[in-house]
Structure 1
Amino acid sequence: MRRILPFIIFTIYCIPYVYLSIRKDFEDDSKINYIIMAMVTVVLSYLSGLIRADLSIILGNIVSFSTSYFYNALRLPDPKWEKYFSPVTSVEQIVLISLAALVLQMIVYTVARKRAKRYIRNAMVSK
């Protein structure tokens, strides 16, 4: 179980959340996927902080950003796609959303690490 949970976290992180969010925004003019993306990544980063799955969070974000960037590149020839995200391009939007999500994840990860340390410290004292 010790190695399975970080692998599951990594696997869920690998989903291209940013691309799926902007695609849903483009197709349905719906912002709901941005909220879902934020909630999922916050929960994953909190779990990563509790179990200290540093590698899962780092590699998962890299893979997620890369696949979002790749799928976006496939859509670039469509002029409607680029025009929809004006005044910024879809590439800039992917980078900005990914950076904002990363900052949010690092804040939540830090809080989770502090809680885990406090729990471990209290468990040691109570023995």
Structure 2
Amino acid sequence: MKTFLLEKYETTHPIQLQVAAYLNGNLAIEMITWENGCPEPWSTLTVNLSELCEKDCAFIDTNNNGKEILIWIKKHKLAAPTGRQLPSGFCTYPEYRFQENLLREIDPDGYEAYLQV
């Protein structure tokens, strides 16, 4: 199980990523914490907007995770910005392209299920 350390609330949280798909086929990534040795939902890294994304691309939920989540993504080399942004409500969400090989490594079953949608 690959985890990525996230500094938040003056604590280091071990985060595992789970890959899935939204109903429209867009990439969904859940953040699960393993602080007490048991999996517990932390947050959703991505947000599903009205636009369809290319394969392995997703809009990042900076509304609920803050802009510092973009630094975390870069630090762990999870994804790179595509340059596309989409407004929704009072927020503008940046689109990122995730590395296929990394998504396959961190959640092989989830990634295969994502490809089937």
TM-score (norm 1): 0.28
Larger Cα-atom Rg: 1
Greater RCO, CA 8 A, separation 6+? 1
Instruction: Say which structure is richer in helix.
Output: 1
Instruction: Say which structure is richer in strand.
Output: 2
